[in-house]
Every structure is written in structure tokens, then in C-alpha cells.
Amino acid sequence: MEAKSWRDRIGEEDQLVEQLQGLVSDSAKRRAQALLDGVADLGSVAEVARDLGKSWNAVDKAIKKNGPGAKGRTTK
């Protein structure tokens, strides 16, 4: 059996990286929506952050970066 060339292996890994980036992006959007649901439940970003043991800034940034209406980054 012939080993795959390095070019083929790089192409496969590039495809895998692209697929994983898509999964991470989708997960970040779902997480931002869950954080927004937490804000609706608890009343504020600060309360959600306190409940999760996270900083207010981290929660706010995740919502702004990945929540509904966020532009999102593209690789193409």
C-alpha cells in the first residue's frame, strides 16, 4: 500500500481544520444564545456572569461577538 503524499495529507488536514472551525462557530452561536436566555431568566449579564463564575466582560463579549445579529468572521 502506497503512503499518501504530503500534499494529500495537508489537503486532508486543511479540510478537517475548516470543518472544525465551522463546528466551533456553530457552538459559539448556540452558547451566545444560551447566555442571552440566561440574561432573560436572571435579568442581567452581571447576574449570568456571577452564576457561572465568569467575568461580566467575558459574558458580554461572547454575546456581542456571537449572538444574534453578530457579523461573525469568515475565512473566505
Q: Does the residue 5 lie in any domain?
A: no
Q: Does the residue 59 lie in any domain?
A: yes
Q: Does the residue 24 lie in any domain?
A: no
Domain range spanning residue 50? 35-68
Q: Does the residue 48 lie in any domain?
A: yes
Q: Does the residue 41 lie in any domain?
A: yes
Integer Cα distance of 53 and 29 in angstroms: 20
Cell of 69: 445579529
Q: Does the residue 1 lie in any domain?
A: no
Instruction: Check residue 49 and give its pLDDT.
Output: 98
Q: Which is higher by pLDDT, 40 or 71? A: 40
Q: Domain total for the chain?
A: 1
What pLDDT digit, counting tens, does each position of 19-68 carry?
A: 999 999 999 999 999 999 999 999 999 999 999 999 999 999 999 999 99
Say what the pTM is: 0.81
Q: Does the residue 17 lie in any domain?
A: no
Q: Does the residue 44 lie in any domain?
A: yes
pLDDT range class, residue 69, cuts 50, 70, 90: confident
Sorted by sequence, the CB contacts under 8 Å of residue 51 that are 6+ apart come out as 38, 42
Cell of 68: 444574534
